[in-house]
Amino acid sequence: MRHFATLDEEQTERLFLHRPQPVDVTAGRDELAVALGATLYCPATRERLAGDLLKLARRGVLSVVACLEDSVPDHRVAEAEEILVRELAGLARTPEWSGGAPLLLFLRTRTPEQLLDVVDRAGVGLRCLQGFVLPKFGGQGQPTPDEWLEAVRKASARAGRRLWAMPVLESRDVAHLDTRHSALFAVRDVLDAHRDLVLAVRTGATDLSAAYGLRRPRGQTVWDVRVVADVLGDVINVLGRADGSGYPITAPVYEHFSSGERVFRTSLAASPFAEGAEELREQLIADDLDGLVRELVLDRVNGLQGKTVIHPSHVAVVHATSVVTHEDFCDASDVLAQHGGGAMASSYRNKMNEAGPHRAWAERVVLRARAFGVARDDVSYAHLLQAQDEAWRAYRAGAGAVGPGDAP
């Protein structure tokens, strides 16, 4: 697997100073977590799930969650389980999967018991799974964190390899101030006891907002919803520390994918869109993806990585903004080259780089550069978006009919 593998050689050479490196599914936690990028949620009720997953891989999707939880109505849970088991078995037998996983596939179940039941029934399809997303982790009335992680450990033993856990912090215990800190400390203690299984901590802004009867509208980011932003800040404080005790934390879902009436003017600057790319900028605004760009910038500023997404059109935006800029790479390289401390002007002559305070940031930049590459100095995220769009159009033109996984 490799990000931007859909681009041809000419596009790759033109856009990247350092190309994205292949992603090894056996890589260490930090390397694999940053490579998740845009993680697309897909209900397990999809009748052609295996085919849809392969189409998504051709579109550049590298991580998918097949969901048996909130996206599946209660009366269809048994049906969804049957579909999932059948489609996993079919997927395992495809040439694409037998030659090596084309994407990272995770399963989100309702309970630890359901997790183990699906694992037992999956048969050959189990080899398609890389792990599990654990919903409402640590919430009152829910399975305990220990129960979830012990189930993942048992599933790993049955698979004969490590299967990863990605707990989702979205319960009211985490949302409400009077219980938040104790809930987060309790979660941290359990995660530390099972550190070898935890790939990343995911955050559920939809459920966190629901605790206050809120939903962010178009034109607003999750960081504009102050009570939710406060929760995310505390999650980062407790679980995202850069001293070796923390975990990768992924950014919450962006809910919108087609524009309605706009209340505010777009904040999407025109400067990254070179001549000939104006139409792309207008399309982003029309599809309400300019709000996603703004939220992604704020996610990264606050230490989050990747993004939960619900529509294939979001994936290219997340990945384009994940590519390390030439300026950031130069700064990170300068910081890491200094071993005796001290400060220096950046090679761009626009900021001060300090070898001590900026080292952890620089290490994260280099890690992201391996997965997503480094852009040339005259390349913006808009160029990367345009190239992905061109590659997708070329694929669709050559592939003929468009299926469900090929949603525009």
CA distance linking residue 192 with residue 300, whole number of Å: 24
Sorted by sequence, the CB contacts under 8 Å of residue 112 that are 6+ apart come out as 143, 147, 148, 150, 151
Q: Please give the domain boundaries of the chain with CATH numbers for all domains.
A: 22-322+385-406 (3.20.20.60)
pLDDT digits (tens, 9 = 90+) for 317-372: 999 999 999 999 999 999 999 888 788 888 888 889 898 999 999 999 999 999 99
Provide the H-helix boundaries in 202-303: 205-210, 226-239, 278-286, 289-301
- Full-model pTM: 0.90
Count of residues for the chain?
408
Burial of 227 (0-12, 13-18, 19+ CB in 10 A): middle
CA distance linking residue 321 with residue 309, whole number of Å: 14
Show the tokens assigned to 109: 């179940």
- Checking if the pLDDT of 61 tops 90, the result is yes
pLDDT digits (tens, 9 = 90+) for 222-264: 999 999 999 999 999 999 999 999 999 999 998 876 655 555 5
pLDDT digits (tens, 9 = 90+) for 141-179: 999 999 999 999 999 999 999 999 999 999 999 999 999
Place of tokens 């294939």: 312
Compute CA 29 distance to the chain's CA centroid, rounded to the nearest angstrom.
14
What is the rounded average pLDDT of the residues 32-37?
96
Picking from 297, 191, 205, 166, the residue whose alpha carbon sits closest to that of residue 246 is 191
- Checking if the pLDDT of 405 tops 60, the result is no
**Amino acid (one-letter) located at 377:** D
Under 8 Å between Cβ of 19 and 369: no
